[in-house]
Structure 1
Amino acid sequence: MTDQTPPVPSSVLTAAGLVGGYAVARATGVRALGGVALAAAGVAAGRTWVRAGIPQTAALAATYVAAFGLSHPLAKKIGAWPSVLTVAAAAGAASHLLADRAVVRR
């Protein structure tokens, strides 16, 4: 593994943060613990985002927060787990396209 290649792609961390944050909150009944999991994964993903560039970092951080926010109204329409999985897939795909591919190319 080189210094350029992260051990875990940010797309995986992004999706895992959204899914894991919800799973922790649901399993424990403590929403704040879910928030801790969400934040920790976001910070870890952000380390790769920064390597891709400041504009990408800003866009992906906004996407991550927006995905979390949008999962709530979407859950009212399609259910909690389908909502979380949908936003996790979208945010993970964005992270792959804007950060992971750029970092691997360098």
Structure 2
Amino acid sequence: MQRLPTWPVAAGSLLLGFAVADLTGVRPLGGIVLFLGALWCGLRWRRQQGLAVAILIVLAYLAAFALSHPLGRAIGSWPAVFVVSAVVGLIAWARADREAPPGTGVSPAASR
């Protein structure tokens, strides 16, 4: 049985966190979703890739969250959240979930 990749959880938790905060009007509820998503992903990344890589990907997640605010003023809240979610998903996929091309013998996700 294959494990759930981290990229949909990382990207999805940014989207869901914003949706919860936006729809309920309670920003801390959205923050809980973001925290839980980052925690789950961070623990998986640490187990798969090591502490240094996990910290770097979590920092990218947090930076994307922070950057979504000024970006939201420029292009709108939902478009900004979609952009940063896509970027975080791509980073997580490229660094933690992607399988290496055949014949390379190296895979970012090889230590699962």
Aligned to 2:74: 77
Task: State which of 49, 52, 56 in structure 2 corresponds to 1:52.
Answer: 49
- Residue-pair matches, total: 101
Identity of aligned pairs, percent? 39
Q: Is 1:10 paired with 2:3? A: no
Q: For residues 65-87 of structure 1, give each alpha carbon's deviation from its aligned partner in whole angstroms, at most 9, with x where no partner exists.
A: 00100000000000001000000
Q: Is 1:27 paired with 2:23? A: yes
Measured on the aligned residues, the alpha-carbon RMSD in Å equals 1.1
TM-score, normalised via structure 2 length: 0.85
CA distance in 2, matches of 1:19, 1:61: 16
Larger gyration radius, structure 1 or structure 2: 2
Query: Once superposed, which parts of structure 1, at least 4 consecutive aligned residues long, lie more than 2 Å away?
Result: none
TM-score, normalised via structure 1 length: 0.89
Structure 1 residue ranges without an equivalent (≥5) = none
Letter in 1 for 2:30: G
Q: Is 1:95 paired with 2:92? A: yes
